[in-house]
Structure 1
């Protein structure tokens, strides 16, 4: 993997380190750490087609006494979602005074049919997928795209469809909106997040 990106979380104690090759689409693997809602470590792998349409994502999240994994694979315009679980995340959440996470994955993969991108919760790397697929870094200001993504929540690894809007604000900046949440995100020349207000900031030299 010829490139290395590192982000520090600004919404909670945590970080993300991604190693990637983007010569023909994206092939990346990364590690995430966070303490919210309870301490967990996540590992992921993501592969896209040359046009940056997501084809496969694998995520594993682990904490004290539990481990969950989910795999999403897209073929013939459909998503296949596979999950596994060890231990009891809900018990760990309850012990810390939090609500249950529910089951990982989805009970109806067809609900994800319109999604060409996967969004992994809390991961700045995954914002690059629609940015690069839509060519947003080269679009005129105020060019907006409304998309559906397969949103993977952490640490539960539940997978739900989510509507998001990406708007070009000119070179090096986009506006991200989903529901009532909006953020103006700074990007580098290749479309990777430099600063995501309230979420993360890049800490590497690249």
Structure 2
């Protein structure tokens, strides 16, 4: 049966809802809303193989007077990155007192060559990809794995490589770190995030 997961943001006003099927690999469609750095809606479609390695991600973000899209697909040992843009996100950001966002996608896909996973900014759902792919949700405590991800910044949809480390803290708990940032993740028996400290908490149907 498909699953429906819903998180509310704890760092800002926002939420995320995803409908997924993880029977064989993963197919997921989700939507994320937030007001920081300016109000936006982000929709995504994600597929991953039985090994939980990403096979395709399509993301669309939009706000008042602008919209952007990016598609990532691994092909021949590298990532194919396709982008689209309408309106002027940078103008909207400047009007709100924020610096410009830069262009969506990447000017050099080869920088993503080492990426095994994709991370979508502000989304607790995407942390499940390396957790499941590496089996960290069931690994002994202190098992640590370092990964390179293609990090999709939101709302700009700029794509950059990022080094991340996931460490099992025992059943149902994983520590996530990247550069100087660290957070603890509570995960359910299927590896999906229940609580991401400082970012989001899941609300389950009753």
Structure 1 alignment gaps of length 5 or more? none
Please name the residue that 2:80 is paired with. 80
Please report how far the alpha carbon of residue 77 of structure 1 lies from its aligned counterpart in structure 2 after TM superposition: 1.7
> Deviation digits for residues 78-129 of structure 1, max 9, x if unmatched?
1000000000000000000000000000000011011110000011110000
Match of 1:174 in 2: 174
Matches for 1:12-31 after TM superposition, within 5 Å? 12-31=12-31
The equivalent of 1:200 in structure 2 is 200
Per the TM alignment, residue 2 of structure 1 is displaced from its structure 2 partner at its CA by 1.1
5+ residue gaps, structure 2, are: none
Match of 1:60 in 2: 60
User: What is the number of residues matched between the two proteins?
Assistant: 206
1:179, 1:4 → 2: CA distance? 32
The separation in 2 between residues aligned to 1:55 and 1:117, in whole angstroms, is 10
RMSD: 0.9
- Runs of 4+ with deviation above 2 angstroms: none
In the TM superposition, what are the counterparts of 1:97-176 in structure 2 within 5 Å? 97-176=97-176
Distance 1:75 1:83 in 2: 16
Displacement of 1:17 in angstroms is: 0.2
1:205 CA drift (Å): 2.7
